[in-house]
Structure 1
Amino acid sequence: MGGDDVTLMCDADLAIDFVCKFLSEFENNTSFVKGFDKSKERLNACAGIAFCNEKFPFFMAVKLANELCQRAKSDSRGRDSANPPSSLMFHNIQDAFVGSFDEIRKRELIIKNDSQEIACDFGAYYLNFKFKPNIQTLQEVILSFRDKQSPKSRLREWLNVLKEGQTKADNELKRIVTIFKDKWIDKHAKKLENPLQEDRETNGERISKLKEGLSVEKLIVEGKTPIFDILQILAVESKE
């Protein structure tokens, strides 16, 4: 612990739930700060999680977690500079050479095919922030993917096919939807659906509107997909 930063080491399958609970309780308790309007004002906090095995150098994991935290913080301020939401970013370390997150992103988290560039880091994920990626929805989606009937293996393959070409990937996704409609999709698909909020300024006025977002049939929005994030959490959980 240094200044207002907290570093914690815990089992991988507890990390997301712990951070969500910590951020939520932090916001709730700071809403009682003297001079704050409880219904509107509270302090926020941001977090970075570096998933690694027990043999990985601790200082390198902490360095990456801190960098992820700083990115989450910067992203939150970009969403709302006056009252930024609490947020989270994470990464599952799979390479002995870590480097900066920018290097990791270029090396592992960008897919380029014949028609577009897709980022596999869908975050930052926000706490209690509608129409943007949020931690609570991520938790619900992870829970649904723990179902033995979930298409997680086929979606791993979809990510690989995505590298080969967009049309081929679109056809693969259609097959997945057809195969898993009765097994899993009819029961869980709603958890993936999330309209997005588009903000713009016109004559100094901030205007927001909703547009089509994520769905089972549309797993790429604004050049990003959450599937890699979902699969990497499942990969580090003992529950998978």
Structure 2
Amino acid sequence: MRYHAYLFEARSIQPFLFASGRLADMVAGSDLLDELSRGILDQALRACEVEPESLPAPRRAGGALYLVFEDAETARRFRALWRTLVAQLLPGIERVDCICSGESVKGAINTGIDTLAGMRNLRPAALPNPAPVAERNARTGEVAVARDRKRDREPVDAATRVKRQFARSEHAGLAHKFDPDDRAEWPRNFEQDEPGSRRFPLGEDGMVGLIHADGNGLGQILRVLGDATGHAPEHYVRLYRAFSEGLDAATGDAARSATQDVLQPQINDGVYPARPLVLGGDDLTLLVRADLALDFTENFIEAFERESERMLQTLRGQLKEAGTPDDVIERLPERLTACAGITYLKSGQPFARGYQLAESLCDRAKQQSRSATEEATVPSSIAFHRIQTSLADDAAALSSQEMERYESTHNTVYHLGLPAYAVGQVDAAGLPRLQTLRDLVEHLQDGALNAARLRQLATRIHESPELARKEYNRWRALAEAPAARALHEFDRHLEALVGRADEHDLPFGPERDGDRDGGSRERYSPLGDLLALLALHRQDTRKETA
């Protein structure tokens, strides 16, 4: 018997979500994507005379479908219908699909996965081409296809029109996964001209944190499942479906835990200070009031580790029941971990670029986590950046622009921030802990040390590291008599973050080999990260205190 697998992936989802910059459009887009692999898919299958419950579907979440048909003609009819639906519902989004056949379900799907991998770099032309002279949507730059009568006849492109036409109950949308009990409403806009009851409750600084979190270790689990189903191919669909659903459940439970612990105590006039945008597989994207972003992210990652540990324990039992050899089962990790990037930006800045930066920060955190251990399980970590000048979408470029100073005299690059901070249960000896940075922030908030001088010091380092050394020594001298204990605690936290430094030098760790041409050296300090968190938590470091 031959099996016919239809594989579909929607790619570049976040640009589709963030294109217009309006929160209401982002919300509608995220709900539309969430509904795509649920109710919309079920209706499409029934239109092809296929019952969704009876169809083998190892994966149907996160904009990806793996469906297995016994009849080739039914698979082709479904593909024709699905392509039409997606083109109408998600205009402009990148998508790849294929039908592959094989003597087994596993063989058909594996062939399809290889086929999709080869198609991802073949971007199809966007047709029809617009006329040379055409009105465009000012928010997205795309060609307008209609006017929004509810918003002063604003020209809107095809994707924006679909989002604004899509109506879904708030109690059935993506946000419902974060709070099944609907304890409060979720905001839908930042604009002043929208109904105030659903506006995003911002802080005084108008800053938000754009969080992107992504799991680690999935490849290891998929390799184990591949070997397990090699011994028992008849269990392929059941085991992969169990893992996919278990991962979704673990991610959802972690999101609910962070919502309950961090967001619910901050409900303001019945509105959450956050808005979920993506939750599926091991991915999370969320907008949240800036001062809550780090707490939410850390809470989510810690809960994700706990929930994934339970999920993997269940998976071990299912592998055992399927007759998988013990040596294969033992290769499963104890838990999954996750890394995250946080972009702190103003609510009026472009979220599309803010997301790209958060994704780049997340990638940087993953790189740091991998290099911090030789174990199979990569530790969890977080990287963040507060936008103060221009908004770039690459973490390395932005760090070089805003957080680095090259001193030619000593051929040394000074970094005013650390690449990432470790969180979670997995040991990361090579990474500083986020809790240590938190302790240093709390220590400076006590007021015993003059944090305003540290902000001046950061500015001075950009101007002249040599002058900054003199200013730092003066700051220490002024603090030594009245706040000797506080200064000692400052040094202790600093050493825990970057290593022991000369107290008569700048607050940077020891020199290390750099990766630039010319054999330059590098030194790191948490000073920029420290000042960012102090500012986000309303600690005024701009004015000197007595």
- TM-score, structure 2 length as denominator? 0.38
Q: Work out the CA distance in 2 between the residues paired with 1:13 and 1:185.
A: 30
Alpha-carbon contact 1:131-1:195 (below 8 Å) kept: no
Alpha-carbon contact 1:122-1:226 (below 8 Å) kept: yes
Q: Does 1:213 align with 2:213?
A: no
Aligned with 1:191 (options 493, 499, 512): 493
Render the CA deviation track for 1:37-90: whole Å, top value 9, x for unaligned.
9xx932110010000111112222112111111110121112225121100000
Instruction: Give the match for residue 209 of structure 1.
Output: none
- Measured after TM superposition, the shift of residue 103 of structure 1 is 2.1
Moved more, 154-163 or 82-91: 154-163
Unaligned runs of 5+ in 2: 1-277, 317-328, 512-522, 541-546
Q: 1:97 to 1:26 in 2, by over 3 A?
A: closer
What is the DSSP-based 3-state SS (H/G/I as helix, E as strand, rest coil) of the residue aligned with 1:8? strand
Moved more, 127-136 or 168-177: 127-136
Instruction: Give the match for residue 405 of structure 2.
Output: 111
Instruction: Give the match for residue 171 of structure 1.
Output: 470
Instruction: Give the match for residue 342 of structure 2.
Output: 49
What is the DSSP-based 3-state SS (H/G/I as helix, E as strand, rest coil) of the residue aligned with 1:65? helix
Instruction: Give the match for residue 377 of structure 2.
Output: 83
Render the CA deviation track for 1:80-128: whole Å, top value 9, x for unaligned.
2512110000001122442422221221111122322111231210125
Aligned with 2:394 (options 100, 104, 108): 100
Q: Does 1:25 align with 2:294?
A: no
Aligned with 1:231 (options 503, 525, 531): 531
Letter in structure 2 aligned against 1:220: F
- Number of aligned pairs? 223
- Measured after TM superposition, the shift of residue 183 of structure 1 is 4.4
Aligned with 1:60 (options 353, 356, 359): 353
Alpha-carbon contact 1:192-1:216 (below 8 Å) kept: no
Q: Work out the CA distance in 2 between the residues paired with 1:46 and 1:194.
A: 21
What is the DSSP-based 3-state SS (H/G/I as helix, E as strand, rest coil) of the residue aligned with 1:56? coil
Instruction: Give the match for residue 288 of structure 2.
Output: 10
Instruction: Give the match for residue 205 of structure 1.
Output: none
- Measured after TM superposition, the shift of residue 147 of structure 1 is 2.1
Unaligned runs of 5+ in 1: 197-211
Letter in structure 2 aligned against 1:219: P
Letter in structure 2 aligned against 1:126: A
Q: Work out the CA distance in 2 between the residues paired with 1:216 and 1:15.
A: 33
Q: 1:183 to 1:22 in 2, by over 3 A?
A: farther
Q: Work out the CA distance in 2 between the residues paired with 1:9 and 1:237.
A: 17
Q: Work out the CA distance in 2 between the residues paired with 1:97 and 1:136.
A: 28
What is the DSSP-based 3-state SS (H/G/I as helix, E as strand, rest coil) of the residue aligned with 1:112? strand
Q: 1:19 to 1:138 in 2, by over 3 A?
A: same
What is the DSSP-based 3-state SS (H/G/I as helix, E as strand, rest coil) of the residue aligned with 1:132? coil
- Measured after TM superposition, the shift of residue 151 of structure 1 is 2.6
- Measured after TM superposition, the shift of residue 215 of structure 1 is 7.7
Instruction: Give the match for residue 452 of structure 2.
Output: 153
Alpha-carbon contact 1:121-1:225 (below 8 Å) kept: yes
RMSD: 2.6
Q: Work out the CA distance in 1 between the residues paired with 2:456 and 2:292.
A: 27
What is the DSSP-based 3-state SS (H/G/I as helix, E as strand, rest coil) of the residue aligned with 1:7? strand
Q: Percent sequence identity over matched residues?
A: 29
Aligned structure 1 segments of 4 or more residues deviating by more than 6 angstroms: none
Alpha-carbon contact 2:291-2:536 (below 8 Å) kept: yes
Alpha-carbon contact 1:89-1:124 (below 8 Å) kept: yes
- Measured after TM superposition, the shift of residue 3 of structure 1 is 3.6
Render the CA deviation track for 1:172-202: whole Å, top value 9, x for unaligned.
2221112123444513323333176xxxxxx
Aligned with 2:422 (options 118, 122, 126): 126
Q: Does 1:143 align with 2:430?
A: no
Structure whose alpha-carbon radius of gyration is higher: 2
- TM-score, structure 1 length as denominator? 0.81
- Measured after TM superposition, the shift of residue 144 of structure 1 is 1.3
Alpha-carbon contact 2:418-2:524 (below 8 Å) kept: yes
What is the DSSP-based 3-state SS (H/G/I as helix, E as strand, rest coil) of the residue aligned with 2:346? coil
Q: 1:77 to 1:12 in 2, by over 3 A?
A: same
Render the CA deviation track for 1:4-31: whole Å, top value 9, x for unaligned.
2101111111111222222222223333
